[in-house]
A and B are shown apart, each in its own frame.
With several copies, the nearest count.
Chain A
Amino acid sequence: MQLEEQLRSKMQEKDILLMTHIVLGYPSLEVNREVIRQMVENGVDCIEMQIPFSEPMADGPVILKANQEALATGISVKDCLIFGAEMAATFDIPFLYMTYYNIIYKYGEESFFKNAAKTGIKGVIVPDLPPEIGQSFLEYADNNHVAPVLIFTPTSTDERMRELARHGRGFIYCVARRGVTGKKSELNEDFHQYLSRCQAATSLPLAVGFGIQDRDDIEALKGRADIAVIGSRTIKLVEAEGAAAVGPFIAGLR
């Protein structure tokens, strides 16, 4: 089953889905494993696993630091892919890779997507590859039935959204605001108008990310978006209270 179908079937059961984010290798794959277990057991519907990159241009301080510290442990892309395969085989929810384009470019687009497909990864999010220069990337994704998830932002025009929607698969990642990951977003009237524009531009499910932090935020998204994305928040939680804190936190979100 492909990503969009999988999500749509879950959407039948819940009024909003939860997607979470982890940085592979931070603080270690062991902790990642435990965190993912807790997430899945507490009802997370989808997880994006970030393969760390030395230049995470679109990430804020928390994820930036996580990338750097993961790399400092010596983790390789191959380690990440083996771990990703293990997770996809172990847990029955869709897993995605999130990373910057260079990681995939250096690995080889074709090999990367073949690997993802073979190991059961459902989608890939790359924040620095606009579709007009990602033709081969998009083709390999489609050929391998791995969803290339594209991004809408508040600065995207309606026309641009329609263009992006044409290439996106699985769902659309709607960035809640200008800026990088990690800072709280105001979910105000402007934001609602923005989400309406997003909905109008695509028939794909909408995920909303950047600064979603607690139950109130998620409550506010219900009926307006299909998926709420929790990013830096769980990373900070693990830093502060350890992996065991993740389960209760997730459980309390919905």
Chain B
Amino acid sequence: MDTNGFFGNWGGAYIPEVLYQTFLELREEYARCRKDPAFWQEYIELMETYSCRPTPLTHAKNLTKHFGGAQIYIKREDLNHTGAHKANNVMGQGLLVKRMGKKRVIAETGAGQHGMATATMAAKFGLDCTIYMGEEDVLRQRPNVFWMEKMGATVVPVQDGSRTLKDAINEAFRDWVTNVDDTHYVFGTACGPAPFPEMVAWFQSIISIEAHKQILNYHGKLPARVYACVGGGSNAMGVFKRFLEEDEVELVGVEAGGYGADSGAHAIRLSSDDASAGVAQGYKTMFLQDDDGQMKQTHSVAAGLDYVGVSPILTDLWEKKLVRFESATDDEVMTALDLTMKKEGIIPALESSHAFAGAFREVGSLSTEEAIIINQSGRGDKDIFTIAHAFDDPSWKEFIIERGKEYSNTDKQ
């Protein structure tokens, strides 16, 4: 990151003037934290005692046998408290908020995982909390909304635009410019204005710091490849970061192919030609936008991946060919999920299942002497409404119909 927050041609801080001072303070506090080994130590201790770090690296022997190629290792971010890697970033920012003395946090959320994590952190740190969530996502992820509210957060359904993640981000910014003095905006992914991309990637780097040690320990050498799904890019940056220092490790980001790269209904920013350079939501990156610069509708079966932009750090790595980008369609993702459940007893989130799908496509052609790491960014429990729906499970439907009827009847009384 240069002094203006750029990574190569990407990033920056395209922010309304009213936030200038706050970003200055944030950048300074962040710089102090980075220089202070005690801060990272405090962060590690928090994650060890409140979340479940280090998360395991699981050798997926059955999947390995199934594909007959490289040894498949799964980095288990699903075992974090609140069920996804999002906790890493949020807890780190929580410590920062305490240092800055702010009393309130806000956040956007798509899949609801970042909202859950932020509501959790706010409860633990005793902060007021408001979560902005596209109305579309509120409907898709009602269980997460329920838990956020139970933890004391206010969840605001955003009814503007496409009523998904990007609109929630805009709305969070509107809140922030209004309540800038006492409020910190806990950005949920490695996007947004500097220093967010770098800061989020820093907190998430705990994933690859652990995985690097673990794979050397279990496999005796570095992995041939590391796979991660790419929504905003935080779990990908997290699991890539330490391995970027190792030339022999190929890093692969898997984007949401939705109904297919040619369908127009996807969220492929880097692995197709549909995106172009732009500036929105405070930063410069490759956006899915039309020729006028208006953002397009995106689609993915995974609520956490259908985002128009992508981390400027990843865009820089893409441009420099240091990370390879692929995509996986909704259908491929459901197949990969199904296989992983049956073979390993592990339920990846729909987001994470993209990384699995991307890896499954290629792993068979690697030697059995090699290893790959797949980052399981989260667990699939949260997706039961989507997954049961996607598998068209008849008893699930019946169950929901019955419950619905019960509630309709009691409501009438």
Contact = CB atoms under 8 A, between A and B. Distances in A.
Interface of A: 53-60, 64-65, 68, 71, 76-77, 100-103, 105-107, 127-130, 132-133, 150-157, 160, 164, 175, 178-180
A55 B161 contact: yes
Nearest to B277: A105
Contacts of A178: 18, 177-181
Interface residues of B, number: 39
A106 B278 contact: yes
11 contacts: A54-B295, A102-B279, A106-B292, A106-B293, A128-B279, A132-B4, A133-B6, A133-B14, A151-B17, A154-B18, A178-B18
Contact of A153 (B5, B17, B170, B279): B17
Contacts of B278: 102, 105-106
B50 interface: no
A155 B180 contact: yes
B157 to A, nearest CB: 14
B292 A101 contact: no
A55 B171 CA distance: 10
Contacts of A58: 16, 173-174, 177
A219 B130 CA distance: 37
Contact of B294 (A57, A71, A129): A71
A151 B291 CA distance: 28
B178 A133 contact: no
Nearest to A60: B174
B62 interface: no
Interface in B148-173: 160-161, 166, 170, 173
Interface in B90-143: none
Interface in B1-60: 4-6, 12-22
B20 A130 contact: yes
B18 to A, nearest CB: 4
B282 interface: yes
Contacts of B21: 155-157, 160
Contacts of A132: 4
A55 B17 contact: no
Contacts of A57: 16, 170, 173-174, 280-282
A180 B17 contact: no
B289 interface: yes
A127 B17 contact: yes
Contacts of B178: 178-180
B14 A128 contact: yes
Contact of A130 (B15, B179, B292): B15
Contact of A180 (B161, B177, B291): B177
Given A53-B294, A178-B181, 16 more contacts: A54-B294, A56-B170, A57-B16, A57-B170, A65-B160, A106-B278, A128-B15, A128-B16, A130-B14, A133-B5, A151-B16, A153-B17, A155-B22, A155-B181, A156-B17, A178-B18
Interface in B187-234: none
